[in-house]
Amino acid sequence: MRTAPAVLLAVLAVACGGKNGSNAKDGHEERTAASEPRAAEAPDNLLRIDPEMLRDLRVTTSVVESRPSGEGVTALGEIGVNEEKYAEVGSPISARIREVLAGIGDVVAPGQPLAVLESVDLGKARAEVIAARARADVTQQSLRRKRGLEGIVPRREVEEAQAAAVAAAADLRAAETGLRALGGEAATEAEDTARFQLRGSLAGIVIDRDVARGQMVEPTHTLFRIADLSRLWLTVHAFERDAVRVSPGSTARVTLPALPGRAFTGRVMLVGRRVEPSSRTVAVRIDLGNEEDFLRPGMSATAWLPLGAGGAMVVAVPAASVQRLHDGWAVFLPRGEGVFEARPVGRGRDLGGEVEIVQGLTPGETVVVEGAFLLKAEAEKARGEGEHHEH
């Protein structure tokens, strides 16, 4: 019968102990063993993964956190732009695109040109302004000249010149008003009166663009969407019975399918004042910081919303990191290249994408999230082989 390595080590340990039982250095050896790291005391808790297999595991980790406990509810939603720092830019008049100056992902400043357009209507309006300004200048010069000759020319001519100047000034104001109504600016005679620049109104990033050179666009057509992505809004929908207990200013915990193992915190900024008749839910807006630029408008997300007053602090980890192993629950902690510690833990309540840990972990430790299930399978496989050898 084949002897298992563990049994062999035990026999050797007993033999050595019997041989040196009266040796005075045994006490020193025991103290040294007691001072070894946990991994040395409990090597059975260490799982070693072959480097080739490790490349296929796609292991991600998360830091163990401590956060307020208390009753809460999870709600699904979608990340959107901060509407206070968002702009849609389009042509104020029917026009044709001549040049495109900004693309998706470009960072733009307020007033920066985004495109060059050409409009026949704008060209006519600018031409009318130029002509009206010229007539106004001529009538003003004529009026000054006639006034300088008062006493020589008949008074009637002076009055006619004054009336002509007033009419010309009124025509100029009307032409300028018509130009402003088209969203254009005045041009000089040397400029192409039909062309104008489309400019952005705020600082941000171009997140969408629907424009091509030569394209004919209408005022209802949005050409550019610009947003400041440093802070985003997550809108989730909570059932009415829960929404009435959500307080503006409370802290929400947010997880995203696109970023497994990552958790974000946001502040509840608004609890809607209207119940959606079809779903019986209320919209809850959460303000999220995006300092690392991981978040994108349109991402789906799940938020854990505290209900009422918060409780004591609890230790929490992502739910995917806690695995059923043997007869209890365990998490896996990285202990070097290809080495993981299987740590038994006490599992508490589900906290909406997270799990309360009542014992076995402390805040600041790192646990495996994505890849934990495969590590569990490897741990069970290794244990099964060990039990087979022992028999």
Q: How far apart are CA 234 and CA 250, in angstroms?
A: 14
Residue 3 and residue 131 in one domain: no
Residue 294 and residue 254 in one domain: yes
Residue 112 and residue 233 in one domain: no
Residue 278 and residue 320 in one domain: no
Return left, alpha or beta for 201; rule: phi > 0 is left, psi -120 to 50 is alpha, else beta.
Answer: alpha
Residue 201 and residue 92 in one domain: yes
Q: Is residue 369 part of a domain?
A: yes
Q: Is residue 63 part of a domain?
A: yes
Count of domains in the chain?
4
Q: Which domain holds residue 99?
A: 86-119+197-227
Residue 234 and residue 221 in one domain: no
Q: How far apart are CA 80 and CA 299, in angstroms?
A: 8
Q: Is residue 23 part of a domain?
A: no
Residue 381 and residue 363 in one domain: yes
Q: What is the domain-level CATH number for residue 289?
A: 2.40.30.170
Q: How far apart are CA 301 and CA 279, in angstroms?
A: 18
Q: Which of 196-205, 276-285, 304-313 has the highest mean pLDDT?
A: 276-285
Q: Is residue 15 part of a domain?
A: no
CA geometry: angle 316, 321, 326, nearest 5 deg:
110
Is the separation of the CB atoms in 270 and 286 below 8 Å?
no
Q: How far apart are CA 254 and CA 264, in angstroms?
A: 5
Q: Is residue 32 part of a domain?
A: no
Q: Which of 17-26, 67-76, 250-259, 382-391 has the lowest mean pLDDT?
A: 17-26
Residue 222 and residue 91 in one domain: yes
Residue 45 and residue 112 in one domain: no
Last residue of a domain, one of 290, 310, 330: 310
Residue 115 and residue 201 in one domain: yes
Express each pLDDT in 280-305 by its tens digit: 999 999 999 999 899 999 999 999 88
Band (pLDDT 50/70/90 cuts) for residue 248 is: very high
Q: Which candidate, 123, 85, 58, 133, places its Cα nearest to that of 297?
A: 85
Q: Is residue 33 part of a domain?
A: no
Q: Is residue 14 part of a domain?
A: no
Q: What is the domain-level CATH number for residue 212?
A: 2.40.50.100
Express each pLDDT in 325-345 by its tens digit: 988 999 999 998 889 999 999
Q: Which of 37-41, 145-149, 342-346 has the highest mean pLDDT?
A: 342-346
Residue 360 and residue 303 in one domain: no
Q: How far apart are CA 306 and CA 283, in angstroms?
A: 15
Is the separation of the CB atoms in 305 and 284 below 8 Å?
yes
Q: What is the mean pLDDT of the chain?
A: 81
Last residue of a domain, one of 310, 330, 364: 310
Q: What is the domain-level CATH number for residue 61?
A: 2.40.420.20
Cα 375 from chain centroid?
A: 31
